[in-house]
Structure 1
Amino acid sequence: MTLSTRLAAAFSALCLLLSAGGQTRADEIENLLNRQSDRQQILRQFENSGTGSPAPAKKPLAQIIPAAQPAAAASTASGSADELIRSAMGLLGVAYRYGGTSARTGFDCSGFMQHIFRRSMGLNLPRTSAEQAKMGTHVNRGELQAGDMVFFRTMGGGRISHVGLYIGNNRFIHAPRTGKSIEITSLSNKYWGSKYAFGRRVKKHDTARFIN
């Protein structure tokens, strides 16, 4: 099978997985990307038409990965949110590394968020998840939109100790822990659902992006 045929097959399979809604398994998407020799080529096909013809204008990811609030998705899960999600998806499979802040050596959860917000929106988030949890504006769980940050209390007590990026359909992308790689996980997951704290929304051209 030629590389182009494999890429086309991978693109089709990825679209089917993403359209499966909240039941999509994170490891299926991650393994699909990791099996290919050139992840970036697959992601470019994912962003474009995948037909082999000249690439059309990029289709907003809000149409591919719908947000939890469909009526608001078209206006809020576009622009900078699209860029955040594209940047995050391009790092699927990168290893977790405690204290890590680069794609070359690996990321921890807050280093991953720092990287994608700086690259996609030109914003410099604080270094830790607890500090990032003070950025922007509070978002209730039922009002999450693609591009929001989601925070967790994984260490007990009230301290925020983990962060990820919400991508819609009750799912988020994050760097989970040592021994794992950046992956997509459902908020319905028993562990992560029990540790969920709240969401925060940071917009590129909004004064609320500053620490409250």
Structure 2
Amino acid sequence: MNPLHKNILKKLAVISISSTIFLTGTTAYIAPSVEAASSSRDRVISIGNQYLGTPYKFGAQFGVTSRFDCSSFTKWVYSRVGKTLKRASKDQARQGYFVPRSQLVKGDLVFFTTSSRSGISHVGIYAGNSRVLHTYGAGGVKYSSMKSGWWNSHYVTARRVL
């Protein structure tokens, strides 16, 4: 296809989308996707809550729900809402898009370093109110505060996948 035809098709697509938005109204057109994302975020937290107290086991196999490591937990929970995540936390940190810490919303993935190195080695689910739903060490799946202390000082980044 020559560049002139591509340009004409792009303009027709813009006109078509603009007409659809104008005829349906922007609120009716945009609201369903915003509502669906919010619902998915709440559902992720609800699903994660079902596993509170489930033991932590480094290297836990995906799909086994009697024990989790951090990334098998996030991969499992997100799979329940139809979102496929990679297996390792460092790979999950490359999915979705970057979110500044000041703009976190429920359901965002939050990443930490658990060693003296600066690389990502832990992932959890942001649950609102500066809390992370995750699994690590004693107690298994639990909530931890990101406001101060260890998790605050080991925070690396966040990604939005919903």
Same fold (TM over 0.5): yes
- Pick closer, same or farther for the CA change 1:76–1:144 going to 2, 3 Å: farther
Which of 106, 131, 141 is residue 171 of structure 1 equivalent to?
131
Structure 1 residue ranges (4+ consecutive) displaced by more than 2 angstroms after TM superposition? 74-77
Q: Where does residue 159 of structure 1 map in the other structure? A: 119
Q: Where does residue 124 of structure 1 map in the other structure? A: 84
> Larger Cα Rg: Structure 1 or Structure 2?
2
Tell me the C-alpha RMSD between the 2 structures: 1.6
Identity of aligned residues (%): 38
Runs of 5+ unmatched residues, structure 2: 1-33
Instruction: Provide the secondary structure at the position in 2 that maps to 1:185.
Output: strand
Instruction: Provide the secondary structure at the position in 2 that maps to 1:107.
Output: coil
Instruction: Provide the secondary structure at the position in 2 that maps to 1:78.
Output: helix
TM-score of the superposed pair, with normalisation by structure 2: 0.73
Runs of 5+ unmatched residues, structure 1: 1-73, 204-212
Partners of 2:41 and 2:84 lie apart in 1 by: 16
Equivalent residues, number = 127
Query: Is residue 2:62 matched to residue 1:103?
Result: no
Partners of 2:148 and 2:122 lie apart in 1 by: 15
Counterpart contact for 1:139–1:200, Cα < 8 Å: yes
- Pick closer, same or farther for the CA change 1:184–1:76 going to 2, 3 Å: farther
- Pick closer, same or farther for the CA change 1:92–1:112 going to 2, 3 Å: same
Counterpart contact for 1:76–1:145, Cα < 8 Å: no
Which of 107, 130, 147 is residue 147 of structure 1 equivalent to?
107
TM-score of the superposed pair, with normalisation by structure 1: 0.57
Partners of 2:36 and 2:120 lie apart in 1 by: 26
